[in-house]
Amino acid sequence: MAIRKPAWLEALDAQKFFVGCCLHENAKKNEKNICCLDCCTSICPHCVSSHRRHRLLQVRRYVYHDVVRLEDLEKLIDCSSVQSYTINSSKVVFLKKRPQSRQFKGSGNICTSCDRSLQEPFIHCSLGCKVEYVLRQKQDLSPYLRRCKTLQLSPDYIIPHDVDEETTHSTIVEGDEHTASSDSERLSLPCTRFQIMNRKASWPCISATSPAAASDVHTSRNMSRRKGVPHRSPLC
């Protein structure tokens, strides 16, 4: 019996990615950009711990369309004749067809499903177009499917550090995080040369050899000096 589509392939086509995860509404970075091929659903980084032993496929975003790394997708299905694009030194493939509004008039190939202009020797603009073409022509997708028992996220995928402790934590520190010391503790410490160069320090930390610094110090001393007892003129 001819195989139509495996469940994971249907999920890649039907599931919505880059939307908020309903299970982690209050969490940061809860955008669903992973497809669990065993559960056939889209998940966010906070859901990874529950799908640790499953096949996970990261979905990326390119020109407002969902793409997947060609290296990962080749482990699941034959992607030959599908045009790939290079993003951050990695080749990616579009998941869904991208119909072209204008009719192609130049030289080159045209996509078999959506008439999009392509480079030689490609004849499919996306994985969805190739699957549609194979099913239309041969009614059997099994010769193109590949056995893949394990599939992990790519090494460049960073899991947020506020997820469960069981998951891999990122060592990247957000730029807006505060250090453990309070403002009062930082003010009590002597100013270093690095701090003076990188932020506006208060006047006691400015070199006294600077004319502007000497003027500021003189002004501050005059302001803090107590006013003396007024002297009256002698009576005539």
User: What is the reported pLDDT for 2?
Assistant: 57
Find out whether the peptide bond into 234 is cis, omega within 30 degrees of 0.
no
DSSP states along 202-213: -GGGS-TTSHHH
Confidence tier at 29 by pLDDT (50, 70, 90): confident
pLDDT at 24 over 50: yes
Average pLDDT, the chain: 75
- Measured CA to CA, the distance from residue 160 to residue 120 in angstroms comes to 40
Distance, C-alpha 54 to centroid of its chain: 22
pLDDT at 200 over 70: no
Q: Which two tokens stand for residue 163?
A: 């997820």
Q: Which of 29-38, 110-119, 179-188 has the lowest mean pLDDT?
A: 179-188
Is 9 or 169 the better-scoring residue by pLDDT?
9
| Residue 72 parent element (H or E) | helix 70-73
User: What is the reported pLDDT for 187?
Assistant: 32
Structure confidence by residue, pLDDT tens digits, 93-110:
999 988 777 766 666 789
Count CB neighbours of 60 within 10 A.
19
The single residue listed with the structure tokens 């955008």 is 31
Confidence tier at 61 by pLDDT (50, 70, 90): very high
pLDDT at 87 over 70: yes
Confidence tier at 4 by pLDDT (50, 70, 90): confident
Is 129 or 175 the better-scoring residue by pLDDT?
129
- Measured CA to CA, the distance from residue 3 to residue 90 in angstroms comes to 31
pLDDT at 9 over 70: yes
Find out whether the peptide bond into 121 is cis, omega within 30 degrees of 0.
yes
Confidence tier at 166 by pLDDT (50, 70, 90): very low
| H helical segments located in 98-170 | 127-137
Q: Which of 8-22, 190-204, 207-221 has the lowest mean pLDDT?
A: 190-204
Where along the chain do its domains lie? 7-144
Mean pLDDT to the nearest integer, 185-199: 38
